[in-house]
Amino acid sequence: MRSIDDIEVSGKRVLLRSDLNVPLDKSGSGAITDDGRIRASLPVIRKLADCGARVIVMAHLGRPKGEDFAERAAGGPSLQVVAERLAELLGQPVAFASDLVGPSATSTVAGMADGDVALLENVRFEPAETSKDDSERVRLAQDLAKLGDAYVGDGFGVVHRKQASVYDLPQLLPHAAGDLVVAEVAVLQRLTVDPARPYVVVLGGSKVSDKLGVIGNLLGLADRVLIGGGMVFTFLAALGHEVGTSLLEADHIDSCKAVLAQAAERGVELVLPTDIVVAPRFAADAPPTVVAADAIPEGHMGLDIGPASRELFASKLADAKTVFWNGPMGVFEFPAFAAGTRAVAEALTKVDGLTVVGGGDSAAAVRSFGLDESSFGHISTGGGASLEYLEGKTLPGLTALEA
Ligand code: ADP
Ligand code: MG
């Protein structure tokens, strides 16, 4: 992959695809609750601006809905709040275009001088960005290409997406991978090529269906797999336990049974929690109770792993030389159900080896606990992208940059 140092950027209009998909306050204020992804994108933006490029940043935010640009723009979320935070963090103005390939983008770019930074509105306001129809995506990419002279792909969180700004656009312009993408790929290589052992993988998060592919591949790599979070209940159901009103993907129970069998066959230690923190409803103020993992009462849902499981998981991480962690152990957004996730995060800080945290929510959790980010080997900005890489899939955004 070419890096920024390999292409001409000085005095050029550089279209930079970043991942600025930050979590927003769900209660209505729309405020940014964790700006980790903006911070992770700063070095490349700064570097390009310092090299005298005119940096035109493209990014998406959330999952806009609607038939066309106008409907989506009316529904939001707009990247305006991100432009403001980016300007603060950069310490220089960031011009914001209220469209992607319309009059605002054109005039914003025309008004830029060398070293200026601009952000275009949410790329996903254009339905063509994510279209399955190649020609629709290419048309949008062609319109975007008119705004720039070169392309830099630095949105690691989206490199697994075959989307106009990620996959089609780099094919139309001289292109390079940004430093963040280069660094992320280097770490993922260390997780897949001859990792130091014991190699422990911790998986959590909400949906087991998102993670089944990666578990399959990781069973061929890891020595131990610890499972928590919402996905654990489908595993508990696969063992024949009642899970009350916990998250359950009933149509994946058989796949979980297959994973359990495969782990046993391959000699991979698969560790499930022995106790669970349950509550009668999904709410921050719901009263927590600790129960055995095989005795979740009817009408209760599991929202975190219990204290014995926290100790068990920490002990299974203590001797690790390589750790990959994706997915919170519980609903860490509610303080009463954050202890399991905190315990895993703390255990990782004590590991003497390479520790990698993948996943937007997992990374946000680590930061929300106030843990020193430098005590982790690497905090990845891309959950889905890391998972697909570890699954052994080819990632369209990387393929396009390599070409
Ligand atoms: P990441 O972004 O790190 O890849 P995911 O998106 O897969 O992680 O999952 C994160 C979400 O999983 C969090 O919002 C968290 O609240 C949720 N979660 C974790 N445990 C549970 C649980 N027991 N029940 C419901 N949701 C859960
Ligand atoms: Mg997530």
Residue 5 has what pLDDT? 95
Q: Do 202 and 228 form a contact (C-beta atoms < 8 A)?
A: yes
* Structure tokens given for 281: 């409803």
pLDDT per position as a tens digit, 278-330: 999 999 999 999 999 999 999 999 999 999 999 999 999 999 999 999 999 99
> What is the rounded distance in angstroms from the CA atom of residue 266 to the CA atom of residue 30?
47
Q: What is the C-alpha end-to-end distance of the chain, expressed in Å?
A: 8
Q: How far is the CA of 258 from the centre of ligand 1 (A)?
A: 23
Cβ neighbours of residue 390 closer than 8 Å, sequence gap 6 or more: 188, 191, 192, 214, 217, 218, 221, 324
From the list 153, 161, 147, 139, the residue with the least C-alpha distance to 118 is 147
Instruction: Read off the pLDDT of each residue in 40-61 and give the average, rounded to a whole number.
Output: 97
Give the mean pLDDT of the chain: 96
Residue 246 CA: nearest ligand 1 atom is 24
pLDDT per position as a tens digit, 346-395: 999 999 999 999 988 898 899 899 998 899 999 988 888 999 999 889 99
> What is the rounded distance in angstroms from the CA atom of residue 336 to the CA atom of residue 260?
30
Residue 100 has what pLDDT? 98
Q: Which alpha helices (H) appear in 301-382, and where do they start and end?
A: 307-317, 339-349, 360-368
Q: Which residues participate in catalysis according to the annotation?
A: 37, 207, 360, 384
| Ion ligand 2 residue ranges (Cβ < 5 Å) | 360-361
Instruction: Read off the pLDDT of each residue in 61-75 and give the average, rounded to a whole number.
Output: 96
User: In one letter, which amino acid is 102?
Assistant: G
343-366: buried (b, 16+ CB within 10 Å) or exposed (e) per residue? bbbbbbeebebbbbbbbbbbbbbb
Q: Could you please report the per-residue DSSP string of 346-365?
A: HHHHT-SSEEEEESHHHHHH
pLDDT per position as a tens digit, 181-198: 999 999 999 999 999 999
Kindly state if the Cβ of 230 falls inside 6 Å of ligand 1. yes
Kindly state if the Cβ of 206 falls inside 6 Å of ligand 1. yes
Q: How far is the CA of 54 from the centre of ligand 2 (A)?
A: 32
- Residue whose CA lies nearest to ligand 1 atom number 25: 230
Mapped onto helix, strand or coil, the DSSP state of residue 175 is strand
Q: Do 12 and 152 form a contact (C-beta atoms < 8 A)?
A: no
Residue 383 has what pLDDT? 84
Which ligand has its closest atom nearest to the C-alpha of 324? 1
Q: How far is the CA of 358 from the centre of ligand 2 (A)?
A: 10
> What is the rounded distance in angstroms from the CA atom of residue 221 to the CA atom of residue 191?
9
Q: How many C-beta atoms surround the C-beta of residue 182 within 10 A?
A: 18
> What is the rounded distance in angstroms from the CA atom of residue 170 to the CA atom of residue 16?
10
Q: Is the dihedral of CA 53, 85, 160, 365 positive or negative?
A: positive
> What is the rounded distance in angstroms from the CA atom of residue 216 to the CA atom of residue 220?
7
Among 331, 342, 381, name the best residue to mutate to test ligand 1's pocket (greatest count of ligand atoms within 8 A of Cβ). Answer: 331
pLDDT per position as a tens digit, 117-168: 999 999 999 999 999 999 999 999 999 999 999 999 999 999 999 999 999 9
